[in-house]
Structure formats: structure tokens, C-alpha cells
Structure 1
Amino acid sequence: MGENRLVQGRYRLLELLGRGGMGEVWRARDESLGRQVAVKCLKPLGPYHDPALARVLRERFRREARVAASLSHPGVTVVHDFGECDGMPYLVMELLDGRDLSRLLEENKGHPLPVDDVTDIAAQVAAALAYTHRHGIVHRDLKPANIVRLTDGTVKICDFGIARLGHGIGFTARLTGTGVALGTPHYMSPEQIGGGEVDQRSDLYSLGCVLYEIATGAPPFDLEDAWAVLIGHRDTPPRPLRELRPELPGHLQEIILALLAKRPEERPYDGGELLRRIRSGHMTSKPVKAVESAVGEEGGRLPSWTHRMTTGHKALGAGPGALPPDPGAVLSGCWVVTPEAVAPRRSAGSHLTWGHRRGGATGRNGPAGDRHPVPALPAERLGPDHPESLAGRYEAAFTLLRAGRVAEALDAYTDVAEASARVLGADHPDTLAARQETAYVLGRLGRHFEAHQVYSTVLAARVRAMGPDHPDTLRCRHNLACTLGRLGRPADALRAALDVAGARARVLGADHPDTLVSRCEVAYAQGQSGHWEEALRLYREVAEVRARVLGQDHPDTLAARYETALSLGRLGRSADALRLYRDLIEDRTRVLGPGHCDTLRARHGLGVNLGRLGRWEEALAEARDVCLLREQVLGPAHPDTLVSHREIAVALGWLGRWEDALTEYRRVAATRERTLGPDHPDTLASRNDEAHCLERLGRGTEAGELYRRVAVVRHRLAPGSA
């Protein structure tokens, strides 16, 4: 992308207005109409970025275009055009001549805006919201950076990228699956934080946060820790504005505090009602004390995605807890012509928090990692150990892991952890997050003993720094419990998982997604201990709760159903397992697609249980179909593909075709040795399979030699061996 480039043969790019981690915004000239416009471009994410994230951002781009283009109001930014050019989505908007509220506060040196300006901005935004709410559109991300005041005094709302259109084609939670959060912590409503139903009253709460900030100079919960900000929104009454600024009119304080009511029903109903209250100059509903009510027993536990959040970019920017704009900043906010607009604006803060959740669906479905910040400035401009450069290096490690380059990811995470400890301190959250990722990758490499050691030291540091019940501490305890199971210590793993599940139920609630993840780990440990009846009962309970809380088609609900079917198979109830697997395959195919790895995993389970029922020809056909799809989707060396090759070998053996089985077993062993190393437990297991096959073929000498080689390596690797 460069100056004078012609986009779609029409929009000539003239001047870069801003650049972020995900794209650029340019001042451009519409050659057809001869007018100046702003062109927002989503840049390619590179070969190792998460495809799901790319889909989310593209969909957000399209949604912003569709929603904004459907609106026609003086208080809403006009979108002129949308399309793709050379595979790059672009959005053409009116070029605004003014300042967003974040910039206005910065230029006012952190002082609040004049009272008349606050009232005028409140009235104009209320009028725009009245219009959008009448059309069934909820913005869902109102913040100072998304509200612009033009030089003529007009106020406009920008960025409908995560808006929701009524209840029909609505923007669902699926668009946040990669961790692209809906909203900015300083301006999020309690129901938005708690994962509840979001409607127009959530916009009014966010507007209340914005008005509070421009009226007092700080947001209502001006805290450095994201967790504390979210808890503040959920549980803490905001401090009355006149304690911070005595000259504010009483009716303005009442209006803003009414917008900040914890319960949506205690706020004005929509933008229209708010506008009437502003114009009348006095409250027409509940007194101010109503906003001090707590959330109550329905209140809300914070959803798991909130636990990794940073505080985000508040309007005033600088300060010990301030952060640079989020990685999707170029997809949000407003782009205005100002004298200094050539260079993108950034906050002065440097604290970044990368810690994230490991462990979506446990057991064979594996952990689900969350997304991380993408640095907006290159390392060469900041130095390799600058916090933002470290964030970029952390992201690079994550992409290596997602690309299957596990050993390289381990080296990258190790380097980041060491640099973070040197620059930020050993107990800094970023250092602990990188070390925890190091432990996770060690586990992926089968080095569970080392992973256990790292998790143990990180847990001790998290308890010191954050306390035993902080979500990051509980997450580390959960990971430690998982590792104990992989170390062959099922009794210890079960005790640890029970402890974490109990703590999460106490802190987060019995139905919280993270609590359910830990209950799944309890079930997994029960199964590893041979208590499959208890595991089956618990998996069924989790599946029922997830269906109620998350929905029947949520991936975590489907994962619990998968574990239920697996437990039935382990109990010898293969006919029952077959019925569950067939239903699950149908649902996963509908929700995820026939080639999705989880769909294929369910088909693999179906094939295994066909074999257990003695239906080996059917089992062989299913294993071959699944193996072919896995090779196409995942690659020939992927662990799941190799598991399918082994299942083919097992079926061939049961059918008496041992020569063919030996070919498959040797293929699996050779691939694992090449990708995992000769001493990896999975490689050794494959060599044992090969030896068993040789034995069945009457080649006892070869089999015995191979058995001995495997035994020697296992003895050498056993903990405590010399």
C-alpha cells in the first residue's frame, strides 16, 4: 500500500492517516466524484496468523460497512463504499474534520471538558443513538475514540464494526472465538462483561462511562488492573461526579449516574428517553440511589474471556496502567483530519499483559488457546526488549505453535520469558505468561516432567503476586493438574483437579465455563484412574450444563458429548457409544463442517467402537476415510493423521493382514521418530506396535531386539534413573 495507488480504479490514496496492527487508513480522493474520503484497508495477516482471526476481522469489516451504510443520520459517520481489491477488503468513509473525544481530552491535558460541551455532546450522541436504536442497531463499543466532534460542533458516532442488527441476522458470539473482545474494558456494561443479553441499554451504559470521563477527567473505574476494572463495572457503585467536580449541575450528575446503573432496567430505555431527560434537565425516573444497588445473586460471574484482558486504551492514554491501542485499533475508532494526523497516535504506557487461557475442551480434544496482542510498532524502532517488541515476539511464538513448529515455539517462548524477566521482573504478569506458555509447549513435546517443574514455579509466583483465587492463578493450577495426569500420576491429578474445580466454583460459580473445564479434567483423571462410571456421570452433567449455558451447538458442549461417548466405549458399552458418536458426527458436520478436526475425531471414535463390536471391515473402511481426510486437512505428519494410520494397522491386524499392518505401523513409527525424536513416548509406543506385529508374523528375533531397544530407552528416561 502506498501513496498514489488507485484502489478499485477509483480511490487514489494521498496520505497515510494511521496504521495499526491490522491495517491502515488513508486520506484519498474519489476520482469519480472529485471529493476527499477516508479509505480503511485491512492488510494481509501473513502466513502464520490464525485463519480464524482473519475471518473474524473480515466479517467485522463487512458488518461495519453493511450496518453503517444502512444508516442516514447527522450523528452517524457516512460509509460510501465497500469492496475488495487484490484480496484486500477496504471501506470508504466520509473524511471527518475534527477530533475524537479521546484526542480532545489529551489536548485538554487531562482536564475535563467544559460543562456546556459535555451537555451538548451528551444530547447529540443521545439523538444519534435514538435513531440507531429505533432501527434495531446496538453499537456495542461506544468509547471516546468512537465519538468525533467536528470543527462545526457536530458530533458523530463511528465504527459499527461489532454492532448488532436487531435479533435476526445478529452478530453472534462466534465472531469472538479467537479472542477479539466485544468492547473496551473501561466502557463495557455489566451485562456485556458477564456474557448476558446485550441491548440498547448497554450502549447507554457505555455512553455513561464516556460522559463520566469527559465530565471529570477520568473514567468511572480508573484502575490499572483489567480484572479490577471489570469487577468495578459489575459490583462497585461509581463515585458521584460532583465529589470530583463540584461545579457540575446536579441534573447532569443524575443523568450520568442513571446511565451507570448496574441493572439495565434501571437505566433510560433507549437513546430517545435519554434525550428527553437531557432536554428536560431533571430526572424523570428512579433517584440516584438506585444506581448503588448491587448486581445481586443473578449477578454475574465474569466469563472466561475476560480473565486475560488488559485494561485497554482509555481516553487519557498515559499513566502507569495505560496501554497502546488494541491490535484491532485500525478497525475501530474514527479517522479525522488534524494537523498531526500523518503519524498514528499512541498512548505513552508500556505495560502489556499477554496471559491467556489454556484449556477449552480437555482430554483428547486438547486445549484451546486464546489470541494475543499484535504489536503496532516494529521492534527495530523500539529495541528488541521494549515491552511492545516483547509482545511481538510473544505473538511470533504463538504463531509458530499454531503452525505446528512446536520446537521452534519452545525456543521463542523461552527467549521471551528470559527477556521479560530481565526487563520487567521475574514476577511480572507478562513474564509469568511467557513461562506458562513455555510449560505448555514442553507438554506438547512430551516433556511433562519439565513442564511440571515450570508450572510449579509459575504457580508459586502467581500466588505471591496475585493471590490464590485470581483467575490466572487458578488457570495455572488447572494446567498443573493436567500435567500430573500426563506424568502418570492419576491420583495426584484427580486431587488437584478437584481442588481447582472447587475453587473455580467458589470464585466464578458452578456454571462458569472455566469451572466446567476443570470438572472435565476431574472426569478425565477419574477415567485415567479406571473410574469410568464416575467419569461418565460427570461428563454427562457437564454436557447438560453447557447445553443450557452455552447452547446445544457450542463447541464445548459438543466436546463434553464426545467425552461421554468415549467413556461409554471405555466401559464396554460400544453400542451406546456408537449411537452417541453418530449423533455427534451429524451435529459437528452441521456446525463445524465435515473436514473439521473435531468432526474427524468423532468419526475416529466411531471406527474404534465398530472394531470393539467386531465389525472390523466397517472399522477399516471408516479409519481409511478419516485418515484420507486428515491427510488432506491436517497433513501427513499431523499427530491425528498418524493415529488414523495406527487405527488402520489395528484393523488390518484383526483381519489377519499382518504384512499390511506392519507397513502402517512402520510408517507411523518412522514419521514420529522424524518429527518428535527417537525418545519421544509416542515414538516408543509405535516401535512397540511394530515389534508386536513382527511377533505375530513369526519374526521373533527381530521383535525381541526391538522390544529390548525400547525398554532400554524407557529405563534411561525414567525419573530417578542414573
Structure 2
Amino acid sequence: MADTRLIQGRYQLLDLIGRGGMGEVWRARDESLGRHVAVKCLKPMGPHHEQSYLRVLRERFRREARVAAALQHRGITVVHDFGESEGVLYLVMELLDGHNLSQLLEDNRQRPLPVPEVVDIAEQVGAALAYTHRQSVVHRDLKPANIMRVADGTVKICDFGIARLGHDIGFTSRLTGTGIAMGTPHYMSPEQIGGGNVDHRSDLYSLGCVLYEIATGAPPFDMDDAWGVLVGHRDTQPEPLRERRPELPEDFERIVLDLLAKEPEDRPDDAGELVRRIARLRAAGRLGGVRGDGSAPHRTLPEGRARPVRASVRLPEPPRLPGWARNMTTGSKAAGTGPLQPPPPHPAVALTGSWTGAWNGVTDPRRPTPSATGTERPPPPPEVLAELASRHSAGLSLARLGRWDEAGKVHRGVAAEREHVLGPDHPDTLASRYEVAFTLSRLGRPADALREYAQAADGRERVLGPDHPDTLAARQETAYVLGQLGRHFEAHQVYADVLADRERTMGADHPDTLRCRHNLAYNLSRLGRLEDSYRMARDVAAARARVLGADHPDTLVTRYEVGYALGQLGRWAEALHTYHEVAAARVRALGADHPDTLAARYEAGICLGRLGRSAEALELYRDLVEVRTRAQGPDHPDTLRARHGLGVNLGRLGRWEEALAESRDVCAIRVRVLGPDHPDTLVSRREVAVGLGWLGRWTDALAVYRDVAQARQRVLGADHPDALASRNDEAHCLEQLGRSAEAHELYRQVAALRQTRSPHAVHHPR
């Protein structure tokens, strides 16, 4: 294809970045959205094929491409678009800035990767496979070239569905009539070799081969004879990893060897079990290559080269391998290429641009950093940079597990050391400060997070410029934490400024621009500008549907916000319709039990109650309580939120004894789990008072209302809308007890506070 090729009048092919048996990968420009993408052009279907055959292949391509596009996970390459142009099938994917694992090993001179990096890769790939296997999608061709580590440390699996496409369309080597399309034999499971049933456990075996190689420097059966490799997978136990690399943690060796079990039923049940095992070992401090705080140990010696693999596999006589394996070559493994098959002229790089190593924890040691005096700072030793990068990755892994306090400690340590060896304005130092701020935000320390974000934003503006995406990201996060602090007017101004910069530099429909507009819409609702919030959220939802697709998670998040704004405007029927549509789309994309699906159903229950359809709401909440108890546990905040909705609707149906019992139970658990002054706990305590009042127990209700009012005043301030609402509840209770003078005085105080208070965010408990 010529460099000037324009596909579908939209994707301008710029330069070739990969070539393999199935076609080519190009860096391209999406002329409609003004962004760079990766376009995978599959081999053209020539006229020698029958038309009926081509129709079947096109339909199969559409089906598989839709499956790949529906996968929405941090650890999976995003598919933006697909189609056919002049007989060439193409997939449009996100352009990744990083290295695949084959390239990482090659750059490391075939030495194994650092232990913390190996563990982090195992954890991230396991999490991505756990998600895809829940969607009943099996990769079938997992290998180092299909696993990318991008510049911020994220690990992504590429080419989901491509192996099946290649099999059906004839792009991979079909070696016999058995119907098996072969990949590189170094990563094939025994059941693939024998032509047996292949399910998610085959992916686990292939992952075990990948981890074995990046941990030791060579795949488990490292021979140039393909026959010997296949026999090894089928009949020979792999050499224990620690015999090749003694410093590997024993527990991690056990995990990899379990993945490499010959029989599928002897492997872990699923990838989620793999992730849980790694998490337990981390928590117990039993992954010797990673300290308890997630950091890598200091090494006095560099990582040693893996010992040469002994060709210890004895070939069975007579051979029992399937006939299609005869005369095959080894293909390209991560550690090099067997002599029987030379590498292709353009090595495949698995949908990526060049590795820049500029930001987000990946340092280019060749890049000098100016010191505070204006002179060139001498470059630190590469092993120091590698250790800091590994610790940065460990911090990201802890964050992915929700261990925010530990992640914050790791990032603070890395930030301090990077500032010492690289300087305060080096992009890597600023990336660490950004992560410190993120953990502080998640730990409920927005004031501290704001200070860190501000420093990261100022530094990035000096080093990268005011319009750089990293600078804008830091500024946008300052707006978010301003919102956490209740400073919504300041947040609004920052969001508006960042939005203007993003629209100018990226375009109105760029995903980052749309994310900023979404945040601005959310903030408008907290300012009480509900109509403005609704209109902006509606426009963002329409734009995201056009750019990303109607069922993309980001589109559904904004449509969810549209439903919320409609509810706050009292347009409950429209809100209910919106939530039903969002829930149905999330069932298709994420599954019926996914937390986001359940959240949309919860909001639909609120709408039903507001529309007077409490019997329907009650049944919905009963089902939600059951599902969330099973999936998240009885004490999870989301489970308790569903139980709270159940109690509210029992009251609306006049079943006040049951409603009071439910509210008391939920309140007691929330006190224990969340604390006595948590907003959700106070909402439950208020619901207890409501039940007491309806049962005529006004004296008891007054005591509870007063406790809630005092707690809200103490936590939120006397003039906060929720505190004022509680004082009104107290006054109403006094009226019911015949204490009108006290009630009227309390009403007067509330009215005065409402007239004189400083503007606050409108609080809408969800």
C-alpha cells in the first residue's frame, strides 16, 4: 500500500510499523477526529475466492470485530472501527506508545526482566484475561509479541479475535486439514497441539509460557526443532524456573508451573485465581523480588543472564504428534528466531508507535536533564533508572488493587529519589508527583492532592508547555479535587479553561475533550445549574455515541449523568427511560452482574419510587440486594445502598414496621463499616426517624432528627443544605409534638441561614 492511501475517506496511512503473516499495521491519522491511530490491514481477498465464500468471511469478520470492539478493559487494546476497503479488511485500533514483551527482552539483550516487572505483568495480563474470559472470549494466540507494555506502565493484550479471524479467512499457516491454525509453537497448549477442545485454560497455559520466558530469558522448551518443542509441551515437565534463575521467588515459580500443567483441569480455574494468588503473596510479603511496600529491593549486582537451556527433551518413538506438525518450523519466539525461519523484513510491533520513554515512569537514560544551576545534570546509572521505573510500576499495581495508602508511600519514595537524581522538573519526577496526588485524592485527602496536582501542573507547563496533554491532565485533576473540597465555582473555571485549550488543540470530539466536557457537566449540577448540566451532558452523550459508539462505557457514563440530571429536574419518567436503556446496554457490554450495570438499575429503582411505582421498585431492590450480596458481600456500601432503597419503598407502601427494622439494621452496619458521621450513615439514621414518625413515636423521632442535625452541622457546617434540611426535619417533629413556638423559631433560624450562607454545592445523595 502506498503511503498516501486513504481508507474510507477517513484514515490516512502514514507509515508502516509492522508486518506479519496476516497483513500489515500502519500508523495512520483519523482525519475526522484529528488523532493518530493504528490501522491493521488484513491481507486482501483476491478474485480466486468464490463469492459465497467471501460473503461468509466478511460476515465472520464483522462478528469477530464486534466482539473485539466490545471488550472494554484497561488491559486490552481498544478497537475503534472496522470495515472493508477495496477488498482489504481493516481494524482501527488505539495507537500504543510502548514495547511488546518480545522487544523488551530484545532490548534487554535477552536477559530476563526485573522480578517486580515480571510480577506486575503477570498481574495485569491476568486481570485482562479474567475480564475477557468472563465475556466468553478466548485469545488463542497469546505470546510476547501480543502483549504490550506502554509508557505509563500499563500492560495491554493485543489482537483479540485476530487468531480466529486468521483461521477462518486463511491468513495463518494451515498445516493440515484438521482445522487448526498454528501460531508460534513455543506458546501453544498441549490441547492445541493435540487438536483437542480449546477454552480459557489454553490461554492460561500460553500465559505461563510467556511468564516463564520473561522471568528466565527463554521459553520453557527452547529448541530450534519445532517437533521437539511440541513434544516438550505435550510430554515433558518444564525445568523449574529457579534452576535457571535462583533469585526468583519460590511462590511465583509455583504459580507459573501451575499455569503450565499438562491437563487443563490441573491449571488454575480461571485468570482471576491467578490475580488473587499474586495479591495474597504480595500482602504476605512472599514475593521475594518485591518488598512489602511494593518497591524493588536494592541490588548490588545486575540481573544475571539466564543459564542456557538444556535440550533435555527425548523424542518419543514412534512419534505421536499429529500429522500437521511434520516439517513445520519454530516460528519467531521472543528470545530469537530459529534458523529454519528467518525473521520477516519488518518485525511486527503489535500495534504500537515507537518507544519514546518520555513520561509516566519510563525514563530515557540518554536524555540529559538540566539541573537547577542551568548546567547539564550527569545522567544517573541505568540500573538506578530501571529500579525507579520498577518501583513506579509496583505503585501502579498497588493502586489497581485499591491499596491506595501503600501505593502512595511507594510513589512518594520514588518521587523523592527521582527529584534527587533527575531534578524536580524532569517528566519522570512530575509523573511520580501526579501519582502521589492521585492516591491522596482516593484516600480522601483532597487538600493535599490539590497541592501535589498544582506542582505537577506548574512543572509540566514549564517543561512540556501549557498545551501538552500531560499538562492539561494535571490541570483537569486540580479541578476534580477542587470539587471534592466543595470549591465548585473554582473547579468550574478550571474545567472551562482546560476545555477551551483541549478544543483548540485536540478538537471538539477528541475523547479527552469529551471527558473534560463530561466533568464540566457534572460540576454544573453541583452548582445547582441543572438545566445547563442536562443540556451539556446530553450533547456529550451524543458526541460520545458518534465517536466511540452507543454502547461504549464512556458513552454510557454520560447517558447515566443525563438520567441523573433529568431526575433532579423532576422529569422522572424520562430519567427512568434513560436508566433502563443504560442498564440494557451495560448488560450487553459488561454483563448483568457488573457493578456499573447494577448502579443503573439502582437509579431506575429511585425513579420508580418517585413515580409512585413503589411495588415495582421494591421487587427491583430485592433482586439488587440478592445480586450485590452474592457479588460484593453483605457489608459492601453498594449492597447497603440497595437495602436502604428497599426500606424506603417499604415505607412508601405503608409497611412501616418492616421499613423501620430494615433502616435500623442498615444503619447499624453503616456505623460499623463507614463510621457514625459518614453521609450514608446519617441518611440511614434519618430514615429511622422517618419510620418512627410514621408510627407516631414523635418523641423518639425528635431525638434521632436532632442527632442527625448536630452531626451534619459538625461535619458539613451549619449553613450546608443537608444540615439545614435536618433542622427543618427537627422543626417539623416539634410541630407534631405541639411545640409550635420552638418549631417556628427553628424555621426562622433556618430561613436566615439560607439567606446569608455562602454558595455551596447542591448535595444530591445518589
Aligned-partner residue type, residue 505 of structure 1 = A
Given that residues 519 and 542 in structure 1 are in contact (C-alpha distance below 8 angstroms), is that contact kept between their aligned partners in structure 2? yes
CA shift at 1:270, angstroms? Answer: 12
Quote the offset at 1:644 in angstroms: 0.8
User: TM-score if structure 1 supplies the norm length?
Assistant: 0.55
User: Which amino acid letter does the alignment assign opposite residue 397 of structure 1?
Assistant: A
Shift of residue 586, structure 1, vs aligned partner: 0.5
- Provide the residue aligned with 1:130 in structure 2: 188
* Code of the aligned partner of 2:442: R
Q: Which residue of 1 aligns with 2:691?
A: 651
Q: Distance in 1 between matches of 2:660 and 2:328?
A: 66
Offset of 1:344 from its aligned partner?
A: 5.8
Q: Which runs of 5+ in 2 are unaligned?
A: 1-111, 131-142, 150-182, 194-200, 224-238, 246-251, 277-323, 365-380, 397-403, 761-766
Find the partner of 2:523 among 459, 476, 483. 483
Change (3 A) 1:495 1:344: closer
1:684 corresponds to which letter in structure 2? Answer: L
Q: Using the alignment, how far apart are the partners of 1:709 and 1:645 within structure 2? A: 23
Give how far 1:630 is off: 1.0
1:580 aligns with 2:654: no
Q: Please, which of 161, 169, 187 is the counterpart of residue 269 of structure 2?
A: 169
Query: What CA RMSD, in Å, does the superposition of the two structures yield over aligned residues?
Result: 5.2
Q: Is the 8 A contact 2:424 2:430 kept in 1?
A: yes
Contact 1:413 1:438 (C-alpha < 8 Å) held by counterparts: yes
1:470 to partner: Cα distance? 1.8
Check whether the contact 1:394–1:434 (CA below 8 A) recurs between aligned residues: yes
Query: 2:658 and 2:635 mapped to 1: Cα distance?
Result: 20
The residue aligned with 2:386 is: 345
Structure 2 CA distance for aligned equivalents of residues 452 and 39 of structure 1: 44
SS in 2 for 1:595: coil
Distance 1:587 1:318, change over 3 A: closer
- Mapped to 2, the partners of 1:661 and 1:154 lie a distance apart of 75
Cα distance, 1:144–1:40 mapped onto 2, change above 3 Å: closer
The one-letter code sitting in structure 2 at the alignment partner of 1:275 is T
- Rounded Cα–Cα distance in structure 2 between residues aligned with 1:407 and 1:344: 31
State the Cα distance separating 1:493 from its structure 2 match: 1.7
Say whether residues 1:515 and 2:535 are aligned partners. Answer: no
Change (3 A) 1:641 1:475: same
Match of 1:146 among 196, 211, 214: 214
- Structure 2 counterpart of 1:345, which letter? A
- AA matched with 1:324: V
CA–CA distance in structure 2, aligned partners of residues 620 and 609 of structure 1? 11
Q: Encode CA deviations 1:371-401: one digit per residue, 9 max, x unaligned.
A: 9994773415515554444333333333333
Retained in 2: the 8 A contact 1:627–1:641? yes
1:527 deviates by 1.6
**Superposition map of 1:293-304 within 5 A:** none
Deviation of the 1:408 alpha carbon: 4.1
For residues 154 and 440 of structure 1, do their structure 2 counterparts lie closer, same or farther at Cα, with a shift above 3 Å needed? same
**What is residue 590 of structure 2 aligned with on the other side?**
550
Secondary structure in 1 matching 2:671: helix
Does the alignment pair 1:324 with 2:362?
yes
2:414 aligns with one of 377, 381, 396: 377
Q: CA deviation at 1:554?
A: 0.8
Q: Tell me what 1:669 maps to.
A: 709
Pair 1:280–1:380, CA change in 2 (3 A): closer
- What runs of 5+ residues in structure 1 fail to find an aligned partner? 1-36, 43-52, 64-75, 78-100, 103-124, 177-268, 296-301, 303-310, 327-339, 356-367
Tell me the equivalent position of 2:25: none
1:275 aligns with 2:330: yes
Distance 1:128-1:57 versus aligned 2 partners, 3 A rule: closer
Q: CA deviation at 1:173?
A: 11
Aligned equivalents of 2:677, 2:544: Cα separation in 1:
37
User: 1:573-621 CA distances to partner (integer Å, 9 max, x unpaired)?
Assistant: 0011000000111011111111111110000001111111111111111
Q: Is the 8 A contact 2:360 2:431 kept in 1?
A: no
Contact 2:186 2:330 in 1 (8 A): no
Q: Is this contact kept in 2: 1:374–1:391, CA < 8 A?
A: no
> Structure 1 389/674 Cα, relative in aligned 2: closer, same or farther at 3 Å?
farther
Question: Of residues 590, 600, 603 in structure 1, which corresponds to 2:630?
Answer: 590
- Go from structure 1 to structure 2 and tell me whether the alpha carbon gap of 1:603 and 1:169 turns closer, same or farther (over 3 Å shift): same
Contact 1:607–1:619 (CA<8 Å) still a contact in 2? Answer: yes
Once the two structures are superposed, what CA deviation does each residue of 1:202-232 show, in whole Å capped at 9, x if it has no partner? xxxxxxxxxxxxxxxxxxxxxxxxxxxxxxx
Measured in 1, the distance between the counterparts of 2:274 and 2:541 equals 26
Tell me, in whole angstroms, the C-alpha distance in 2 between the residues paired with 1:163 and 1:433.
39
Cα distance in 1 between the residues matched to 2:671 and 2:116: 35
Q: Supply the distance in 1 between the matched residues of 2:209 and 2:755 (Cα, whole angstroms).
A: 58
How far is the alpha carbon of 1:533 from its aligned partner?
1.2
Mean alpha-carbon deviation: is it higher for 621-630 or for 703-712?
703-712
* Contact 1:445–1:676 under 8 Å retained in 2: no
TM-superposed CA distance for 1:501, in Å, is: 0.6
Structure 1 pair 595–460 and aligned structure 2 pair: CA distance change class (3 A): same
Q: Using the alignment, how far apart are the partners of 1:666 and 1:677 within structure 2?
A: 15
Cα 1:510–1:657, aligned 2, differ >3 Å: closer, same or farther? same
Q: TM-score, normalised by structure 2?
A: 0.52
